[in-house]
Structure 1
Amino acid sequence: MQFEVNRADFYDTRAVTISTTSTPTETSPNELQLGQIRLTVERFALTTNNITYAVAGEMLDYWGFFPADEPGADGKRWGRIPAMGLGSVAESAHPDIAVGGRYFGFYPMATDVVIDATPYGNAFRDVGAHRAEHAATYTAFRDVTADVMFRPEQADEYLLLWGVFMTSFLVDDYLADNNFLDATQTLVTSASSKTSICLAQCLAQRDDHRCIGLTSERNRVFVENLGLYDEILTYDEVDQLDPTMTSTLVDIAGSASVQSAVHTHFSDALKVSLTVGATHWQESGGGVTLPGPTPEFFFAPGQSAKRAGDWGQSELDARIARSFHRLSDTTDQWLTVEHRTGPDGVESVYRSLLDGDAEPDTGYVVTMHENPPS
């Protein structure tokens, strides 16, 4: 069972039962080919980050992670939004990958998936032909029993935060690596989102650099109670900031009006404008020349590869682990996990995120199984 989205209309969804092998045979459409493994998708996090994957699906080929038949029999271009989840190997036709292991990685919103696998570290990578152009960050699966960042008692929090934390850690590191472009403060939009919270936690460790959270009036109290931002303003209060203060913008909202307001207010005092998310995807724009720097999409795997070269992969992993554990030690103060099951449960959460109705203190962990595997 797969949850699919119409790539031309994100509100048009369906749950379908299809073959989960990438190379089915005529006699046995679900038979694994040599080198393939079948993973049962236990559960996955569903957040506004997944909406960003859909919005950026064409530009960054998120639709290519687990491609659907294109077009479908109904003439529509269906897509499968990737999600960060946990799965276990239910069947293996790879001599070096055993049945039973439990792995974290990108999965489709599905009950199971078949991938072409090859060992990678203590786990494996998806090496299907359609993944050839994707960064290793997106194709690697992690054995959670050997992952220093995984705490079994916080498995749901790991699913909800690990992926967005990685992006936030690398945004913070990119800015610091470039001395914040000589800026003295960073503005973070969608300050209540999990990506922004992770970024604010990282920025809070930087001496002599201010972090300004921009949010809606609805979420202002929640953001204030986090205690992570030096200053918190609503989107219509941007003009209260000192326009001469050298600044950087990390745009996680993806709202054209908010981006324009910041660029217009700061103009040349804005040193860099990084686009990271699209929590306000319905307000996105484009094609308009803005004052100040040209907005650029932040590509996390590029900074990850740079730091792996600078420090070595083990040191990079250790630094990320220390920072992530500092965040996860606080989640009981601001995050409530809710679970949903089956296609209807997945769709209800997906629609609330699409509409921007989800509460900022709630994280959804969902499964396509009506009766989730233990």
Structure 2
Amino acid sequence: MHLEIDRRNIRATRLQTTTSRQLIDGEVLLTLERAALTSNNVSYALSGDMLDYWGFFPAEAGWGRLPVMGFGVVTTSHHPDIEVGSRYFGFYPLGDDHVVQAKTSSGGFIDVAPWREKHAMAYRSFDRAAPTANDDAILIFRGLFLTSFLLEDFLRERENLGAKQVIITSASSKTSIALAHCVQRFSDLHVVGLTSAKNVDFTLGVGDYHTVLSYDDVRQLRNDTSIVVDMAGSPNIVADIHRHLTGCVSYSCSVGATHWDAARGGVAVPPPKPEFFFAPSQLAKRGKEWGREELNRRIADALGVFIESTTRWMTIRHTHGADAVAALYGELVAGHVEPSVGNIVSFK
């Protein structure tokens, strides 16, 4: 069974039973043990057609299976080098079982189904993963932290484009907090978070921002050379920032869409034109330059430091059962999940 989303209206979902079939040579069947469900996944749904997230796991026309980061256990294997009972971290469709046409790689295997060939390696790799005490936090943060780590690296590689401050929208979101953490740790930029008025106190209390303002207080931003990182996906917010900082924005980019219902309006944003930051491109670049082993070491070290810092503000909530998971997805789409909560889900 899988949770499927109406591609024309991401609020609409259904639970679709999957017909089992005999595996062919090279295929493995994994049962999704657990997965993280965050606002990042809402961004995947919103960008499903534009970035082909719906192409990861084909479904009936008009419907999409939501990619989630999870741990899965091999329950049936028709691959000689992949054992039943082995456990893997990777992208799964939100549901119970998942069939992969596998090719072994260093540390795991790759999904080599024909429809997966065009997707970035990061999205179709499954890494062998023994259980650890930090499994839940790893699921919640590894994917979104990777985006934040790579964006900070992208900016620092360009000497932060001469900026003195970075302004991050949707500052209470976990991806934004991870970016603020990385910027504070690796550069000397002044880190400013913009969030809704109700989340200002929480966001400031996280400890990764120097300044936190509500969206209504954009005019309090310092007129310094600035980088603008839009995690909200709201052109209205970006336009307000650019207007206030006319001539001071050295770089502007879009990453997420937590304010997804505001992401489709035709709003004129003053220059510079925001660019879309695609993390897999920076990942591939650094993989070639540093080597995969060194890249993974740097990411793991930085992620470990960040996860340790989140224990002071995040509570992990577990949700079990298909109906309860579907209801939680609806809460995320509606924006009703507190930023201090990290959700781990299982159809079991």
- Pick the aligned partner of 1:172 from 133, 145, 152: 152
Distance between the aligned counterparts of 2:160 and 2:346, measured in 1?
A: 40
Corresponding residue for residue 230 of structure 1: 210
- Pick the aligned partner of 1:54 from 25, 35, 45: 45
Distance between the aligned counterparts of 1:135 and 1:334, measured in 2?
A: 33
Corresponding residue for residue 251 of structure 2: 272
Q: Does 1:219 align with 2:199?
A: yes
Distance between the aligned counterparts of 1:31 and 1:116, measured in 2?
A: 13
- Partner deviation per Cα, 1:210-267 (whole Å, 9 max, x = no partner): 1101111111111111111111110111111133x11111111111211111122123
Distance between the aligned counterparts of 1:8 and 1:310, measured in 2?
A: 40
Contact conserved, 1:269 with 1:292, CA < 8 A, in 2? no
Corresponding residue for residue 363 of structure 1: 342
Q: Which stretch of the first structure deviates more once superposed, 279-288 or 189-198? A: 279-288
Equivalent AA in structure 2 for residue 12 of structure 1: A
Q: Does 1:95 align with 2:80?
A: yes
Equivalent AA in structure 2 for residue 56 of structure 1: S
Change (3 A) 1:235 1:118: same
Corresponding residue for residue 134 of structure 1: 119
Q: Does 1:44 align with 2:35?
A: yes
Contact conserved, 1:266 with 1:292, CA < 8 A, in 2? no
Give, in angstroms, the shift of residue 273 of structure 1: 1.3
Corresponding residue for residue 3 of structure 2: 3
Q: Does 1:312 align with 2:303?
A: no
Equivalent AA in structure 2 for residue 36 of structure 1: E
- Partner deviation per Cα, 1:123-176 (whole Å, 9 max, x = no partner): 00111111011010000011113xxxxx71111111100100000000100000
Give, in angstroms, the shift of residue 289 of structure 1: 3.5
TM-score by length of 1: 0.91
Corresponding residue for residue 15 of structure 1: 15
How many aligned residue pairs are there?
348
Give, in angstroms, the shift of residue 79 of structure 1: 0.6
Equivalent AA in structure 2 for residue 95 of structure 1: P
Give, in angstroms, the shift of residue 199 of structure 1: 0.7
- Pick the aligned partner of 1:196 from 162, 176, 197: 176
Give, in angstroms, the shift of residue 11 of structure 1: 1.6
- Partner deviation per Cα, 1:282-324 (whole Å, 9 max, x = no partner): 1113544421211111110111111122222211111111111
The percentage of counterpart residues that share the same residue type is 45
Contact conserved, 1:271 with 1:292, CA < 8 A, in 2? no
Distance between the aligned counterparts of 2:318 and 2:299, measured in 1?
A: 27
- Pick the aligned partner of 1:109 from 85, 94, 99: 94
Question: Structure 2 unaligned runs (5+)?
Answer: none
Equivalent AA in structure 2 for residue 9 of structure 1: N
Equivalent AA in structure 1 for residue 67 of structure 2: P
Corresponding residue for residue 351 of structure 1: 330
- Pick the aligned partner of 1:163 from 125, 129, 143: 143
- Runs of 4 or more above 6 Å deviation: none
User: Matched residue of 2:91: which SS?
Assistant: strand
Q: Does 1:80 align with 2:65?
A: yes
Distance between the aligned counterparts of 2:210 and 2:197, measured in 1?
A: 17
Q: Does 1:184 align with 2:164?
A: yes
- Partner deviation per Cα, 1:306-353 (whole Å, 9 max, x = no partner): 112222221111111111111111222111011111111111211111
TM-score by length of 2: 0.97
Equivalent AA in structure 2 for residue 174 of structure 1: F
User: Matched residue of 1:138: which SS?
Assistant: helix
Distance between the aligned counterparts of 1:206 and 1:92, measured in 2?
A: 43
Equivalent AA in structure 2 for residue 285 of structure 1: R
Q: Does 1:240 align with 2:225?
A: no
Corresponding residue for residue 23 of structure 1: none
Corresponding residue for residue 74 of structure 1: none
- Pick the aligned partner of 1:152 from 132, 137, 143: 132
Distance between the aligned counterparts of 1:208 and 1:13, measured in 2?
A: 44
Distance between the aligned counterparts of 1:306 and 1:184, measured in 2?
A: 26
Distance between the aligned counterparts of 1:101 and 1:330, measured in 2?
A: 30
- Partner deviation per Cα, 1:26-61 (whole Å, 9 max, x = no partner): xxxx10011110000111100000000011111110
Equivalent AA in structure 2 for residue 254 of structure 1: G
Distance between the aligned counterparts of 1:64 and 1:42, measured in 2?
A: 23
Equivalent AA in structure 1 for residue 138 of structure 2: Y
Question: Structure 1 unaligned runs (5+)?
Answer: 21-29, 71-76, 146-150, 370-374
